[in-house]
Every structure is written in structure tokens, then in C-alpha cells.
A and B are shown apart, each in its own frame.
Chain A
Amino acid sequence: KAGVTQTPRYLIKTRGQQVTLSCSPISGHRSVSWYQQTPGQGLQFLFEYFSETQRNKGNFPGRFSGRQFSNSRSEMNVSTLELGDSALYLCASSLANEKLFFGSGTQLSVL
């Protein structure tokens, strides 16, 4: 069974741009969660989707958004990028949002 796949693996953007990250969950998993990891703040919950609906959202500004498609694949979007958005963005999928399986992440650098 293929694991959680995140693309791209690395991304470099400049301030003010927007970015879209993609996540393909494990086959059969309908829940997809996104986390931001930085050296200073650690791992922080962004949001969780289940069957194309956002069920929960962390404490991030509205510049951070996401969506989930009917095949459970998910995308997250960050608009008007700031230097502080540089981070490893991790996607996790699960059957019932209890046991999370993480992808390798997308390393975003904002210059």
C-alpha cells in the first residue's frame, strides 16, 4: 500500500506570492490533516478535512486555506506569503483521525 504522498518536496517562493501544496492520502483514508513544522513553534495543527468538508481548523490566519477533493486528495494554499511561513508542511491521513500516517512533507522557503 502506498503511503502518504506530498508534492512538491521542496519549494522556494518570494514574499507576496502564493503557493499550493498537494497531498495524496493512503488509499481508503478519508481524513486528511495538515500541520506546519518550524524550529521555533514546533508542530502546529492547520486544519483537517473529511469527505471534502473541513471539520476543524487551527489558529492560523485566513491566508492559509485548504480543500479536499472527492478522491480524498487534498491541497493547501497559502496566499500573500510572508517570511515566517517558511516551514515544513506535513500532511497526514487516517481512517478515523486517530492514528495518523504522515507524508515526508513539503519544505517551503520564502525569500
Chain B
Amino acid sequence: AQSVTQPDIHITVSEGASLELRCNYSYGATPYLFWYVQSPGQGLQLLLKYFSGDTLVQGIKGFEAEFKRSQSSFNLRKPSVHWSDAAEYFCAGGGGGADGLTFGKGTHLIIQP
């Protein structure tokens, strides 16, 4: 069965420090992979996506993610976080076409001053 796992429920990072949010997937083939961010009471905003090609993907707001087939991972990174990055982050995977996305449970990012 397809699955996406985010091992960390909460992550606390100091403002200005680097960030890495983990995501592991389990799919029969290489899935389409996404990272979304959700602020309280809001919908989801796409940060970046991986379909194929270059395994290092650049997204909005200074985020990037690296697809590693050998580790079945698609971790999200940012070199220096800002207080406004505090939110819920979701990793998602899909087979494309009419398949719905499978979301991880999310990682709640807390930024310390």
C-alpha cells in the first residue's frame, strides 16, 4: 500500500538556524512527491514538487528538498528559518493521473526566538 511517513510530529528550531523535516515514502514506483505548508485555519500551500529529473528541488520561501531513491526519502530543508515559517508541514505523494494524494501526518514546526 502507498504510504507517506513523517517521523517527527513536532520540531523546534531557533530563528536563524537551519531546518530539516523528514519524509519517507513507500510506493511501487517513483511517486510524485510534494511538500505543503499550512498555517492555522488555512488551506495548504504548495512549497515544492518532485516529478522526475534533478533530485534537488527548489521551492518557494527559500525551501528545498532532496529526493533520495536509495533511502525512500524526500526531506525538506531551509538554511535559515524565520519566525513566519512556524506552521504545519505536510509531505505528500501520488501516482499521478486521477489518484488522490497520500499525505503524511504532518510536522508542526515551532520557531524559538
A residues near B, CB below 8 A? 4, 6, 33, 35, 42-48, 50, 55-56, 58, 90, 92, 97-105, 107
Q: Is the CB of A97 within 8 A of B98?
A: yes
Interface of A is mostly: strand
Q: Any chain A CB within 8 A of the CB of B43?
A: yes
Report the Cα distance A28→B97, complex, angstroms.
Answer: 17
Q: Is the CB of A101 within 8 A of B100?
A: no
By a CB distance below 8 angstroms, the chain B residues around A100 are 34, 44, 46, 101
Known: A42-B103, A102-B36, A103-B43. 20 other contacts (CB 8 A): A6-B43, A42-B106, A43-B92, A43-B101, A45-B101, A45-B102, A47-B100, A55-B97, A55-B98, A56-B98, A56-B99, A97-B97, A97-B98, A98-B94, A99-B49, A100-B34, A100-B44, A100-B101, A104-B41, A104-B43
Q: Any chain A CB within 8 A of the CB of B63?
A: no
By a CB distance below 8 angstroms, the chain B residues around A35 are 100-101, 103
